[in-house]
Structure 1
């Protein structure tokens, strides 16, 4: 399955565009007054926030949200591990002949290195999901902290798995303007998703799987989680794999991630 791997080439291109937009707003305000100037300013600020909060927004840098294929293939991506669920999820994937990419948190992988190595040994992909998973504040991290979150995780995961991750997923999907410079340095491409069931917070297996199934299509990138407080992620992934088999979808990895 081909997936365009596109690390950012111009991670600071947003800055002159932002400055230009605010100069235009200032000119509009001066020429037509606050009645036009204020809505113009709010519109530019809303666009900037959309670029941060919308997981598939490419305002600040490239992002992959769907794979360019017409084959009945999907890319399963599992966030937030390693966890107590990892071993059971690996067994389920093996039982269904499915592959997945695990977007691991660096500190959690360092605490459970045997699980991270087992993911790689069984032929699955490992992606970078930050070093500490600062869920509440990732959207607001400055350039120094953002660099540490991404580069520390990259070093940790490379040392444990023996292979550098190629893909990055932002925490909670939020991507502020400071994400892409570290991605360029590390050769990482950002991945979003096109199918999700909110399985990190929703404990109803049927609702989660039904929501994902509604968005399935050739090339779908499916967002899944492990280790959620409701304790039902393993059951959800097992049920989803059954549905994929019934619908004749194959869960596979992008070409460059296949062992």
Structure 2
């Protein structure tokens, strides 16, 4: 589903750190490798090359890394509040999770997959009707190869999801989460073009894969504190996502924490 032009316009890009700073750092590191190889031979040059390549590759898989794109790493705002984020919807779990959030007077940002949203627009409207927020979580959620997408494929994944969600909601999302948190050098361009802010997390229980609810909630609870960004999922095959959300909401109440949508982030 593509948004009508009257509904969707990319946001005006915000000023910030240079988007290609990583490229200068990579070039500088390789010049250092060349110098070490020339000065001390392969015994120094080869390990330096391997380590430098491992560093730049490893940053792709670190959800909180800022090397390739800016990222929100704690909940914007103050007070005894956390940010609940729910990935991979909409799904058959969405209505139950919305009911749980209502019962606890909690708000969340739903990071939606464009293709899934296009198939179930009524669920997207229901998320918004109940006072929650939307985020961009790619168009097709290619989790096995998202890390390796080139510039055109990455722009398509982010841009098409943005157009789909804007067409359903009437306004474009402002938040984005990379698939499995993986962020390669080609993510920053589409985020800049669409005015999106990338969001990481500080508390997770690995509820997107086969898990046991009590243990999963306990893993999340270890990192619950004011300013936490909680990563949750919906629609996983194990069927426990609503139960896990229920446990997290109960844990928040026990600790005197509220699940509140974040304040705007300055550009």
Structure 1 gaps of 5+ residues are 1-5
RMSD: 1.6
Tell me how far apart the structure 2 counterparts of residues 32 and 57 of structure 1 sit (CA, whole Å). Answer: 32
Give the 5 Å matches for 1:215-234.
215-234=223-242
Match of 1:123 in 2: 131
Residue 246 of structure 1 deviates from its aligned partner by: 1.4
Give yes or no for the alignment of 1:148 onto 2:156: yes
Tell me how far apart the structure 1 counterparts of residues 92 and 85 of structure 2 sit (CA, whole Å). Answer: 17
- Does the CA contact (< 8 Å) of 1:226 and 1:234 recur in 2? yes
- Does the CA contact (< 8 Å) of 1:107 and 1:153 recur in 2? yes
**Count of residue pairs brought into register by the alignment:** 253
Match of 2:119 in 1: 111
Match of 2:206 in 1: 198
Structure 2 gaps of 5+ residues are 1-13
Runs of 4+ in 1 over 6 A off after TM superposition: none
Q: Deviations over 1:165-204 (max 9, x none)?
A: 1011000000001000100000001100000000011420
Q: Deviations over 1:186-223 (max 9, x none)?
A: 00011000000000114200111000000111100000
Match of 1:65 in 2: 73
TM-score by length of 2: 0.91
Residue 12 of structure 1 deviates from its aligned partner by: 2.1
Match of 1:249 in 2: 257
Residue 67 of structure 1 deviates from its aligned partner by: 2.5
Secondary structure at 1:255's aligned position in 2?
coil
- Does the CA contact (< 8 Å) of 1:166 and 1:189 recur in 2? yes
Tell me how far apart the structure 1 counterparts of residues 101 and 203 of structure 2 sit (CA, whole Å). Answer: 18
Tell me how far apart the structure 2 counterparts of residues 95 and 8 of structure 1 sit (CA, whole Å). Answer: 40
> Which of 70, 80, 92 is the matching residue for 2:100?
92
Tell me how far apart the structure 2 counterparts of residues 69 and 182 of structure 1 sit (CA, whole Å). Answer: 26
- Does the CA contact (< 8 Å) of 1:157 and 1:164 recur in 2? yes
Q: 1:150 to 1:68 in 2, by over 3 A?
A: closer
Tell me how far apart the structure 2 counterparts of residues 188 and 10 of structure 1 sit (CA, whole Å). Answer: 16
TM-score by length of 1: 0.94
